[in-house]
Chain A
Amino acid sequence: MSFLRSFWVPLALLAGALVLVLDPVPFVSPVARPVPVPDWATNTNPVRQPKLVPHYVVAGFTYQCSDCHRIIPSPRETQRRLTQHTDIELNHGLNTRCFNCHHPHNRDAFVDDFGEEIPWNQPQQLCGKCHGPVYRDWEHGSHGRLNGYWDAGRGPQLKRRCIECHDPHHPPFGSMTPAPGPDTLRMGPSLPPGHEGRRDPLRIYSAQAPPTASH
């Protein structure tokens, strides 16, 4: 007892030194392991890659649209079900006729309001026939995508056309799977009770509970 009484200070210091050296309680970082980000999340390509040429591919061969349509005349009224091009389902609101957009005689072109041809690679002229305000906004840049350079004097600007985002036969922009959500340390309050869990930013990962990808 007297030994403890006289040596408590060095004993306490030695115990502290032992704790510091042996580190019996290992530090567990609250940092989550990175959530893998799928490649499509950083892909800058538009959602559609239209050909912008009047080509039709069947059985590995590529045809001009007019190759067939020059020989086979189409009836003027085309609200019947198609026998060819059955993959196309026209779901464009009140616009239910093929020849509202496709040229009735030259199938390698679109048709404008006066029966003149619109080249296949200028779809915005066609869409602008009806969608005036959107066409105006697209021309000035408040609608649609621009890629490349904001300063045209320093590099090329790639102005995306209507059908690189919209399917002309079913124009509303579709839904998408969202990219993984945030897993950051301090991004707002934790979730309301009952919703904490894998999105809890301060959760401690162990080997038993690997992080689950959030998509």
Chain B
Amino acid sequence: MAPPENPPGAGGDVARPAEVSRRGFLTQGAAAAAGLAALAAALSPLRHLKEGDLPTAEEFLQKHYKEMTAAEKARVLGRIQEQVKKRYGVTSQVNDPPPLDGVEFVYGLNISRCIGCRKCVHACVAENNPSRAPEIQYIRVLEMEKGSIDVETANHRYDASQVPRPDKWYMPVQCHQCANPPCVKVCPVEATWQEPDGITVIDYDWCIGCRYCEAACPYWARRFNFTEPQIEPDQLNPDLAYLSNRPRQKGVMEKCTFCLHRTRVGKLPACLEVCPTGSRKFGNVLDPTSEVHYILKHKRVFILKADVGTLPRFFYYFDERGSRYHDPLEGAGQATHGEGA
């Protein structure tokens, strides 16, 4: 055994700071080694990083949608197409349809006719590629007591065997595409904006996921991707658009876009196409021959939460008479449309 350098009691007790004792060296060395091990362990999740989990330089440097030139846009659309192919094995078509001139979209919903069957909810999900697990749905169908319009106590989880239930009425709520949208005002990075045809859109690649817009929306129309969205490849709709239904990533907001990949090429939105009662109406309000123009001019129309001043482009209307809310339902109870039975 080597003689101790500092025998106890030999006057060398007061070691200078620069001097390292054997015990001190061992302790600090062990602490440093363990610290490195702990750091390595803390970083160990990085081992599970897959290719594509981190953005490429090109993705990282991608500009805001409105600042991209046509060539840059085309390159981005091509890249999204490749990513969809790689991730889902689905050959898709990614478009970027521009807003149409002289068109302002307006939605009408006939609450006298809606029976609360929720087909619109699922047609929307099938069209817009939101996450299936966890579920993200743009449309909520509220069930309320007849004679009340209290959305705070409305129930959207109703689980009836048959709808409509005789003492209830139904009001589907989705993005109202406001002309004075609070969600756009609060966005700190201008990742969401109103297009000339009235649709409020999100650049999913610019969104930072702060969810201010979700808090600002009085209609609860915005949805957040808390996890990596999961979609079965066979359920992916391959007709994609940059601003609407291309697959989203974790940590970004999404919302109803009036199916702009459909409506900007003249088609009707998916929720309208599927509605069995014809409660949903859509069109160009600037066209005096359109259905929505007729509804706004001739029907009794109201907007949800008019007092908050958001000027929605989503109008609820009702019929004067002849709807199920005036006729007795005894006879109607017998007739069922057997689809779901």
Q: Are chains A and B native binding partners rather than an unrelated pairing?
A: yes
Task: Spell out A's residues near B (CB within 8 Å).
Answer: 6-7, 9-11, 13-14, 16-18, 20-21, 29, 31-35, 37-38, 40-44, 46-47, 91, 131, 133-134, 137, 140-151, 153-155, 160, 165, 167, 170, 172-188, 191, 199, 214-215
Contact A31 B140 (CB under 8 A): no
Question: B61-69, B181-189, B327-335: which lies at the A interface?
Answer: B327-335
Q: Which residue of A lies closest to B335 (CB)?
A: A174
Provide a sorted-by-A list of 5 A–B residue pairs whose CB atoms are within 8 angstroms.
A10-B35, A35-B135, A141-B281, A143-B319, A175-B162
Q: Report if A29-B335 is in contact (Cβ < 8 Å); known contacts: A38-B340, A140-B294.
A: no
Q: What residues of A have a CB within 8 angstroms of the CB of B294 in the complex?
A: 140-142
Q: A41-B123, A181-B157 are in contact. Are A14 and B340 (CB under 8 A)?
A: no
Residues A182 and B156 in contact, CB atoms below 8 Å apart: yes
- Tell me whether A173 and B277 are in contact in the complex, defined as CB-CB below 8 angstroms, given that A16-B41, A179-B119, A182-B157 are known contacts: yes
Q: Closest 7 interchain pairs by CB?
A: A154-B266, A177-B340, A141-B291, A174-B335, A10-B34, A172-B332, A20-B41
Q: For B226, what are the chain A residues with a Cβ–Cβ distance below 8 Å?
A: 185-186
Q: Does B87 contact A (CB under 8 A)?
A: no
User: Does B335 lie within 8 Å of A175, measured CB to CB?
Assistant: yes
Q: Please measure, in the bound complex, the distance between the C-alpha atom of A10 and the C-alpha atom of B31, giving whole angstroms.
A: 4
- The reply to whether A175 and B281 contact each other, CB–CB distance below 8 Å, is no
Q: How far is the CB of B34 from chain A (nearest CB, A)?
A: 4
CA distance A174 to B337 in the complex (A): 6
B16, CB-defined interface residue at 8 Å: no
Cα distance, A35 to B266, chains bound together (Å): 32
By a CB distance below 8 angstroms, the chain A residues around B30 are: 7, 10
- What is the CB-to-nearest-CB distance from A70 to chain B, in angstroms, rounded to a whole number? 33
Residues from chain B with a CB closer than 8 A to the CB of A179 are 117-119, 121-122, 340
Chain A residues, CB < 8 A from B227 = 29, 31
- The distance in angstroms between the C-alpha atoms of A98 and B319, with both chains bound, is 29
Q: A42–B274 contact, CB under 8 A? A: yes
**Chain B contacts of A184 at CB under 8 A?**
134-137, 223
Distance in angstroms between the alpha carbons of A199 and B156 in the assembled complex = 11
Q: Other CB < 8 Å A-B pairs besides A20-B38, A20-B44, 11 of them?
A: A17-B37, A18-B41, A31-B133, A32-B135, A137-B319, A173-B332, A177-B161, A177-B339, A182-B135, A187-B140, A215-B340
Does B33 belong to the interface (CB within 8 Å)? yes
Inter-chain CB contacts under 8 Å: number: 241
Number of interface residues of B (CB under 8 A): 88
Q: Cβ of B169 < 8 Å from any Cβ of A?
A: no
CB distance from A155 to the nearest CB of B (A): 5
Determine if B163 is an interface residue (Cβ-Cβ < 8 Å): yes
Alpha-carbon gap, A7 to B118, bound state (A): 63
**In the assembled complex, B158 has its CB within 8 A of some CB on chain A:** yes
Given A42-B123, A186-B224, decide whether A155 and B267 contact each other with a Cβ distance below 8 A. Answer: yes
Whole-angstrom distance from the CB of A191 to the nearest CB of chain B? 7
Q: How far is the CB of B171 from chain A (nearest CB, A)?
A: 14
A46 to B137, CA, bound (A): 23
Set of chain B residues within 8 Å of A181, measured between Cβ atoms: 118, 156-159
Which residues of chain B are within 8 angstroms of A178 by Cβ–Cβ distance?
116-118, 158-160, 162-163, 340
> Given A17-B34, A174-B336, A176-B336, does the pair A43, B27 have CB atoms closer than 8 Å?
no
Q: Which residue of A lies closest to B341 (CB)?
A: A177
Which of B115, B317, B321, B329 makes the CB contact (< 8 A) with A176? B115
B residues 252-286 near A (Cβ < 8 Å) are: 263, 265-268, 273-278, 281-284
Q: Determine whether B126 belongs to the interface, using a CB cutoff of 8 Å to chain A.
A: yes
Q: Looking at the assembled complex, report how far the CB atom of B58 sits from the nearest CB atom of chain A, in whole angstroms.
A: 31
* CA distance in complex: A43, B338 (Å): 13
Known: A14-B37, A149-B268, A180-B118. A21 touches B137 (CB 8 A): no
CB of A96, distance to nearest CB on chain B (Å): 13
- What residues on B are CB-neighbors of A34 within 8 Å? 132-133, 135, 230
